[in-house]
Structure 1
Amino acid sequence: MSGATAAGPSGPTAADEVVDVCRELIRFDTSNPGDGTGPGERAAAEYVVGLLQDVGLEPELFESAPGRANVVVRVEGEDSSRPALVVHGHLDVVPAHAPDWSVDPFAGELRDGLVWGRGAVDMKDMDAMVLTVVRQMAREGRRPARDLVVAMFADEEAGGRQGAHWAVEHRPELFAGATEAISEVGGFSVDVAGQRVYLLQTAEKGLAWLRLVASGRAGHGSQVHTDNAVVHLAEAVARIGAHAWPTHLTPTVRALLEGVAELTGLPFDPEDPAGLDALVDALGPAARFVGSTLRHSTNPTRLAAGYKENVVPGTATGVVDGRFLPGRSAEFDAQVAALAGPHVRVEDVVRDTGLEVPFEGDLVEAMVAAVTAEDPGAHVLPYMLSGGTDNKALARLGITGYGFAPLRLPADLDFAGMFHGVDERVPADALVFGTRVLDRLLRTC
């Protein structure tokens, strides 16, 4: 699995290749509905293997289940005695309903200077940047500052059980000696009071996809039913969905809002909800990510009950997408159980940890320096992602993960809205910018 380097510079640079590689990756339909019915990642993984082998590297492709393919390659660094850095992405995407789109979501179109398609921002853009930077380094005979473990995982969109979590459990030796990692969803720019700010992800909320199971007495729909499972479920869902979770600012969120206050002149008062909302709103489209990181969240997403109009069922089920703040899962669970009530059982569908690491250290300093070298005068602030990434899996090996997929974006682009959205797209010049930042980072960190 160790990497070799090609002798001498030849061929295209990362900046030359990145747009085409991103488009090619999008053309592989790697939709992951989460129920095992998707096409899988195998074809895209084989394409990735070819890109790496083409420049003399020796990647390993392995499957966790038929078609669920992962790719890992280790690239030797200038100083292999230092802890290795994992640079990882995922090859699967959420499904796309083509009639809702203005383009074919799997055509990888280049239109108006943007690459369109499912995965353009989540996260085949970052995959392409990583792969083309590694290819350029290999062509030029350059080594990164330390060993890199480059990984392209399956199944991230369904919790990573067939991808990063499977690799950590079954193939931990692939990550031997690694202590830090970078991946999605951070490093992108937003406009704050006319100033460009890059959000570096140093935290992410925990994941609790919960099944609510209500029990009652089954019977004829014409009879009196005071123990109705559908009613129990509906009441529980309404309570959970309407619950106003209290504000709690973690160190990451506090640092972000303090930074926004400094840039905008708005006041920062952790006891003033309206003031906090104003600071979040100052982040523009990124408020979609940041807004729910001030507190836990519980959003009902599915309901199921009954099989005939005149039969009261004995059970009814619902699903809630819960996201809890790092280090506060016990508090979250206790409140959900209380809201669910005595007639409703709460079960985990998927659960994963929350993460939070300091906005400091050599790697953070190197990421900040790489961005500001390519965009002088820009600011870099930490933030917490409301969703989750495969860094959760790597954390089980003691690997500290950051979100850093550097993109310099137009101020009016609703980037956060592109994630899992319709007409997902990314500016081509943002991809080129990202290759420059990543190349600089891997040479220096």
Structure 2
Amino acid sequence: MTELLTLDDAAAEAVTLTSELIQIDTTNTGDPDTVVGERVAAEYVARKLTEAGYEISYIESGAVDRHNVITRLSGADPSRPALLVHGHLDVVPADPTEWSLHPFSGAIRDGYVWGRGAVDMKDMLGMMLALARYYKLNGIVPPRDVIFAFVADEEAGGSYGAQWLVDHHPELFEGATEAIGEVGGFSVTFGDNVRAYLIETAEKGIRWMKLRVRGTAGHGSMVHHDNAVTKLADAVARLGNHRFPLVLTDSVREFLGGVSELTGWEFPEDDLDGAVAKLGTISRMIGATLRDTANPTMLEAGYKANVIPSVAEASVDCRILPGRMAAFNAELDEILGPDVEREWMELPPVETTFDGALVDAMTAAVLAEDPEAHTLPYMLSGGTDAKAFAKLGIRSFGFSPLRLPPDLDFSALFHGVDERVPVEAIHFGTRVLDRFLRSC
């Protein structure tokens, strides 16, 4: 068994664990027939935890090979509420022909760990697992109980992961009132070396929607005025080209105000899209939190070139701001009309405030490792397992700390080609998380 005598040892192991977890293919297509499953990765995590002395809960969540691992490290004060630290084992698909290095190589090259999941989110899993082992092996006791959860199926909404666990095994999270997870705590450099670490306090709601249009089947050589494909194409074009109204939520206002204080930049509401563009590569993520979005992603119709099908379908990825659900539905009714059928899977937005002892502990941990840093709250344009844990009343933050090179287009790496994470960023994140977990 690996000895973890110092925090530097744990940081080095976090890099190794990240690489080895990437090498385990946990592709989640969302289709039960093509999902690889998380079992092998869960077994790997379970083995690493048990050899360090943990008792674990190893749970198959409603389908074959959809496994989760949860363990609890007792804290010094059992009367205090527990902290949940969670991460997902699954990753989105990757086409090896598009990558510089194989997406499941886990290669460590040019100062980076490469592969699918490097930032989403096997780097955080590596840090979580390394610190959990470091604490247990060295008898380190945090101030309160820490629950480490390694879960399945986040990339398809958590039906076989966090959502399933919350619905069927809420006792695993007993006493937890706060949580940290993915897509937060990473650094962004504004202007002349103003470095801010963005901590996620809110995220948009998810609606994965299926549109369906019916028409009259027939021969492709004849004149048809009731063509399902044509009607669907018109509806998809209307929706895809629609621009939802600008809405400034409290979380976005606080973020933009914080950037203004740090940089002097202004964000006038009459040209907010243009002003946000000056944020650089992070502007894609921030810009998507200014309004609802509905992006068509898949089309399906027909089975032969000379046959007009009776049904045509489209998939649309909708992301909805807090408080906007009723208005969003009204706009959909107007855009799509009564002839387009809709069905969907939906997860609500979540939002909390950027205050309290936990936020103070996150900020202090970052500043201890980067004295020139600033921390800012922000809204994530996507979604995480925080949506599931919110059903238990758990207040969640995105805090997976990484100090990143100023020129790295971090947001493009999520679900992108050549996903990778700097080795030094994992070292930094391990040290920050250690400070945080020992002080929160």
TM over 0.5: yes
CA distance in 2, matches of 1:282, 1:87: 33
Partner of residue 136, structure 2: 138
Contact 1:165–1:393 (CA under 8 A) maintained in structure 2: yes
Q: 2:17 aligns with which of 15, 18, 21?
A: 21
Partner of residue 105, structure 2: 107
Within 5 Å, which residues of 2 pair with 1:194-209?
Answer: 194-209=193-208
CA distance in 2, matches of 1:199, 1:245: 25
Contact 2:402–2:425 (CA under 8 A) maintained in structure 1: yes
CA distance in 2, matches of 1:245, 1:102: 37
Partner of residue 301, structure 2: 305
Partner of residue 413, structure 1: 408
Tell me, yes or no, if structure 1 residue 263 matches structure 2 residue 270.
no
State the one-letter code of the partner of 1:345.
Answer: E
Q: 1:322 aligns with which of 288, 309, 318?
A: 318
Q: 2:424 aligns with which of 408, 429, 432?
A: 429
CA distance in 2, matches of 1:306, 1:114: 45
CA distance in 2, matches of 1:282, 1:371: 25
Q: 1:313 to 1:130 in 2, by over 3 A?
A: same
Tell me, yes or no, if structure 1 residue 381 matches structure 2 residue 381.
no
Tell me, yes or no, if structure 1 residue 285 matches structure 2 residue 281.
yes
1:266: Cα distance to partner?
2.0
Contact 2:217–2:309 (CA under 8 A) maintained in structure 1: yes
1:261: Cα distance to partner?
1.9
Within 5 Å, which residues of 2 pair with 1:38-437?
Answer: 38-64=35-61, 65-193=63-191, 194-270=193-269, 272=270, 274=271, 276-348=272-344, 350-437=345-432
1:268: Cα distance to partner?
2.8
Contact 2:194–2:263 (CA under 8 A) maintained in structure 1: no
Q: 1:123 to 1:191 in 2, by over 3 A?
A: same
Unaligned runs of 5+ in 2: none
CA distance in 1, matches of 2:362, 2:225: 60
Q: Deviations over 1:184-217 (max 9, x none)?
A: 0100001011211100000001001110011222
Q: Deviations over 1:317-347 (max 9, x none)?
A: 1111100001211211221122111221111
Contact 2:7–2:431 (CA under 8 A) maintained in structure 1: no
State the one-letter code of the partner of 2:56.
Answer: P
CA distance in 2, matches of 1:226, 1:9: 74
1:12: Cα distance to partner?
7.1
State the one-letter code of the partner of 2:39.
Answer: R
CA distance in 1, matches of 2:428, 2:201: 22
Q: Deviations over 1:248-292 (max 9, x none)?
A: 01111011111122222222323x1x2x23442233222221110
Contact 1:213–1:346 (CA under 8 A) maintained in structure 2: yes
CA distance in 2, matches of 1:119, 1:33: 14
Contact 2:267–2:276 (CA under 8 A) maintained in structure 1: no
State the one-letter code of the partner of 2:247.
Answer: H
CA distance in 2, matches of 1:399, 1:34: 26
Unaligned runs of 5+ in 1: 1-6
Partner of residue 4, structure 1: none
Q: 1:356 to 1:122 in 2, by over 3 A?
A: same
TM-score when normalising by structure 1: 0.95
Q: Deviations over 1:156-187 (max 9, x none)?
A: 11111111111111111001111111000100
| Secondary structure of the corresponding residue to residue 140 of structure 2 | coil
CA distance in 2, matches of 1:434, 1:11: 12
Question: Over aligned residue pairs, what C-alpha RMSD do you find?
Answer: 1.6
1:432: Cα distance to partner?
0.5
TM-score when normalising by structure 2: 0.96
Q: 1:244 to 1:70 in 2, by over 3 A?
A: same
State the one-letter code of the partner of 1:307.
Answer: Y
**Number of paired residues?**
435
Task: Name which of structure 1's ranges 171-180 and 215-224 shifts more when overlaid on structure 2.
Answer: 215-224
CA distance in 2, matches of 1:91, 1:219: 46
State the one-letter code of the partner of 2:107.
Answer: E
Contact 1:210–1:320 (CA under 8 A) maintained in structure 2: yes
State the percentage of identical aligned residues: 57
CA distance in 2, matches of 1:279, 1:260: 12
1:9: Cα distance to partner?
5.2
CA distance in 2, matches of 1:338, 1:11: 57
| Secondary structure of the corresponding residue to residue 396 of structure 1 | helix
State the one-letter code of the partner of 2:365.
Answer: A
CA distance in 2, matches of 1:42, 1:382: 35
